[in-house]
Every structure is written in C-alpha cells, then in structure tokens.
Chains A and B, each alone.
Chain A
Amino acid sequence: MAESALSRTAGRSGSKRSLGWWETFYGWLFAMPWILGFILFTGGPIVAALLMSFTDWDIVNVPTWVGLDNFERMFLNDDLFYQALKVSTIYAVVSVPLQIVFGLLISMMLNVDIRGVSVYRTLYYMPSVLPLVAVAVMWRWIFSPDWGVLNWFLSWFGIRGPAWLADATWALPALILMSLWSVGGGMVIYLAGLQNIPTDLYDAADVDGANPWNKFWYVTLPMLSPVIFFQLVIGIIQSLQVFVEPYMMTEGGPHNSTLFFLLYLYRNAFQYFRMGYASALAWILFIYVALLTLLVIRSSAAWVYYEGELRK
C-alpha cells in the first residue's frame, strides 16, 4: 500500500520533470522571436555603437580606430555638443513637470461625475494621437509672428507677441508651449490611478475634518505618486528623443537655440556621415539618460508611496 503510493508519486514527479523539460523547451522556443530581435536590433547594436564610438568612419571607407579621440573632441572642442545637451535638458526639466502638473489637473477635473465627461475626455485626449509631422506644420503657422493666431490672441491684452520660432529667446519656450497642447495623452494613466484610490481613505479624511486641499495633499497625491513617478521617468526619456519639432519647425535654430540632442546626432550620422562620432554621442546620451533616471529613482524613496510598503 505505502509502497504503491510512493511509486505513484515518484512516477508523477518523474513525468512532471519531463513535462517541465518540454515546457522549458517551448518557453524558449516561443520567446525566440524576441530573443533574436533583442540580439540583432537592440543588444548587438548597443555593443556595436560602443565599438564604433572609438572609430572614425564615413560608412563608405574602412573604419579607422582612433581610440578616445571622439570623446576628447566632444568634451573639449565641441560647443554644439554642450548646446544640444543644454537644449534637451532645459526642455526635459521644464516641459516634463509642466506636463505632469497639467495632466494631473485635467484628469482630476475629469474624475468627477458631471454631464458630458466622456466628451471632454475624448477631446482632451485627441491631440496626443495626431501625427506630429502634421501638428508641427500646423503650429508653425500658429506661431507666425505677424499673422499667427497666438499673437492675435496676445494682442487682445495689448501684448505684442514675440517672433516665437524666429527668435532665439522664444523658440524653445514655443516648443515647450506646443508640447502642452497634447498633455491630455497622460490623462488616461492618471485617471486609472485616481480611480484606484480606495474611497474609504477619503471617508476617513472626512471624519478627521479634512478640507479638499488636505485631501489632495495627504491622500490623492501620495496615492498617485507611483503613477507620477512612472510618468516622470518616461517623460524624461521621451523628451531626450524630441526630433520632429526642431527638424520641421526650426531646423535647430535660430542660432542653435533649438538644437535638440537627437537632431545633432542625426546630422552627424546622416548628413555629415560621421558614424563614429554619432555613436559616441549616442553612448554619452545613453549614460546621461541612465544617470537622470537613476537620480529620479534614488529620489523616489523620499516621495513615492507604495501601498503595503513598511516605513521606518
């Protein structure tokens, strides 16, 4: 009796092991498209970019190994590199927080049970799905110094608007302003976050006599902080990938005031065919993004609240 039970379990675990082997086999097999894709199009190229960054290469001739020359030139002799880094950083530091604040505000207004709320949501979300190329053309005309609708609007208040995209001081602020137009894209994520906050937290706050501001500051914001954190990280990465706006609207000008990092990289790689130098730029950008992300993650311990996490 005992013996047969034993052999039965042994048999079952044996078949389980062979089942496990097949499962592992199929697991890897089915994941293979991604594994190969990762090696060919992501992991491999990242390593290749590192190797290429030590070469001087115009893609036609044989690459020559130049050691650290590219990096030396970048850090010591290339003002445009610093300009591109500056433009992208200013854009990230200003536009990402603004996008978060406005996105949060809109979604809080739309998390209320009022008539037509779904129509509002649809309209606010729409600008973020549009082709950026077409949006860029549209905004070039909105920013037109003499005939644009923006300066017409400003003239109501007796303000003579600047030349926007044609003015080195105002071109970057103009692009930041334009990015706020599609701020509704983040709304869906904030709404999902808001709707996940348990209502009893607000009830408890009511019992404690909290006013709406208290409720926002002590309940909504902490409960939403993981979502805000996520949006901050994604926002930083995305703002370092801005390309269409400067390429189509300002060509990086005037006076390189909108020379975004990716535009500078694009020019080096695909207009001047400096593949080595472009790869060096790409790697520095990679490190820069990683450092920024790390900074945000480090700081998150102080301000992001995860439910169920124990606090000292």
Chain B
Amino acid sequence: MSAAENTMLNLSARRQRTWGKVLLHLLLLIGVVIVMIPFAWTLSTSLKPEGQVYTFPPKWIPEPILWGNYVDALTALPFGLYTRNTLYLAIGRIVGLLFTCSIVAYSFARLRWKGRDTLFFIVLATLMIPFEVTLVPQYVLFSEIGWVNTFLPLIVPAFFAGNPFFIFLMRQFFMSISSELDDAARIDGCGYFDIYWRIILPLSKPVLAVVAIFAFQNNWNSFLLPLIYLHDRDLYTLALGLNLFQEENYTRWTLLMAASLTIMLPVILLFFLLQRYFIQGVVFTGVKG
C-alpha cells in the first residue's frame, strides 16, 4: 500500500468519524430539546396573563411578562410554612438516617458475628418488598399510639435505619476502607464504637454526603406518606401544599405553573451544584457490568 493510499484511507476514516460525531450531537440535541421543552412551556405559561394561555398556536413569549404570577401563586397559600415543615422533616430524617444507617452498615461491613450474613440478606430482601404492603398496618400502629397528624410517623422510622438502600450503600463504602486502620486503632486500645466514630465516619464523608442528599431529595418529593399522616393544613409539606393548590385552582394554569416551577427550583439547583454526588451514589454500590 502506497503512502498516498494510506493517507486517503486515514482521511476517509477521519471524515467518517467526524460525520458520526455530528450525527451523534444532532441526536443528543434532539433529546435535550425534548427534555427542555416542558420546562420552557411551563416557564412561558407561568409568566402569561391568564387570557393568553388559551391561544392556538401557543405564544411562547408572554406579553407583558407577568412576574406577579409568582407572587400571587406563592401567597395564595402559606408556602413559607410548608417550606419550613418540609425542611423540618428533612432535617429530622437526615439526622436519623445518617446515624443509624451508618452504625448498622458499620456492623455489617466491619464486624464479624454470627447471623450477620443472614441479616444482611434480609436487608437486601426488604429492598424488594413493595412498601404498600406495610402501609395499612403501619398506619394502624401509628393511629393506635395517637401519632397520626404529627410529624412522628415520618421521622421516627428514620431513626430505626429506615432505608435499606442507604445501609447497602454505606456498607459497600465501608468495605472499601482498609482494615489495617481498624487493627492499628485496636492496638491503640480503641473499642468498636471508637473505630466507627473516629476512623470510619471521618473517612466516609463522600458516602454520608450522598445519603444526605438522596434523603433530602426523597423527602422533598415524598407525597403518599405525608398525604396519609398529615391532615392538619398547618402540618402540610410543599408537595401536599401544591396538591391542595391544584385542587383549589384546577385550571388556573398560570398560577399552577408558577407554583410547580418554584417547587422544582430548589431540587434543580441542588442537582446542578451537587451533581457529582448524585452520580457517585451509583458508583458506590459497585454495580458491575
């Protein structure tokens, strides 16, 4: 094969690759448009005067732009109170889950004891149990002890390592920490709790951050459990507030769009700021191809 032929081949291969890349970008951009259009549509509607919503074909740029829709939507109901309730629940749940899931995971990952593997198998099995099976009896339990219409049914289970996935995630992470550290600490006279508290936890900040963020997001998005347990409007979370707002303004699209976009915004910000943690969550599970 001559040198000229060789360059020709290289060129055509390179050209093919370039075209491949252009095509790929094109496909990916179509996907991005599909993902983004609902947001653009929501944003556009949320800024329109009520009358401009009902036009066909739709007008994408509102005239005039009514920022006041956001004020109207967010003052129609006490969304400030709902935000505080949501955050209060989030903090309670995160604290409970971080401490209890981590110590349970530590026990599964670092200590050797009879029955451990059986119990860990049950932890994994509970991942497969549809939660609605326990929904009714749990409600009965909490209603018998008078906890319905309080935050307790939503917070207390978190203090009993109430998320098997987080236990699994933390255990996987703890297993990857060198056990020589434990041995060294034990020679220095550290007990099992000291090792957990002074060695494992400080080294596990990445996985603790992942769990905290997932727990925050779960709590922000959670709907069915608050719906069942929180009846008093003073206890409503943002998700319940939005549902109530929809019931009261079923077709006031401008306000509905403003409210739902506002409730999405913190999660969107959190996601963009901390996206590497969202993605790391999967890496920690050690899912292999």
Q: Which residues of A contact B (CB under 8 A)?
A: 20, 22-24, 26-31, 33-38, 40-42, 44-46, 48-49, 52, 59, 106, 109-110, 112, 114, 116, 120-127, 129-135, 137-139, 141-142, 144, 146-147, 149, 152, 155, 181, 184, 188-189, 192-197, 223-224, 226-227, 230, 233, 237, 240-241, 243-244, 247-248, 262, 265-266, 269-270, 275, 278-279, 282-283, 285-286, 289, 293
Contacts and interface: CB of A to CB of B under 8 A. Distances in A.
A23 B129 contact: no
Contacts, number: 264
17 contacts: A24-B114, A26-B111, A26-B113, A31-B107, A120-B31, A120-B32, A127-B35, A131-B221, A133-B239, A134-B242, A141-B41, A188-B282, A192-B282, A240-B130, A244-B223, A265-B135, A282-B133
Contacts of B268: 126, 130
A3 to B, nearest CB: 28
Interface of B: 21, 24-25, 27-28, 31-32, 34-38, 41-42, 45, 53-58, 100-101, 103-104, 106-108, 111-116, 119, 122-123, 126, 128-141, 143, 157, 159-162, 167, 192-193, 196, 217, 220-221, 223-224, 228, 238-239, 242-243, 246, 253, 256-257, 259-261, 263-264, 267-268, 271-272, 275, 278-279, 281-283, 287-289
A33 B100 CA distance: 6
Given A106-B31, A126-B268, A147 B246 contact: no
A133 B31 contact: no
Nearest to A121: B279
Given A26-B107, A133-B242, A286 B133 contact: yes
A interface SS class: helix
B248 to A, nearest CB: 13
Given A30-B103, A131-B267, A147-B53, 4 more contacts: A45-B138, A223-B289, A244-B224, A282-B135
Nearest to A233: B128
Nearest to A32: B104
Nearest to A131: B221
Contact of A27 (B107, B243, B257): B107
Nearest to B116: A27
Contacts of B193: 26
A42 B243 CA distance: 28
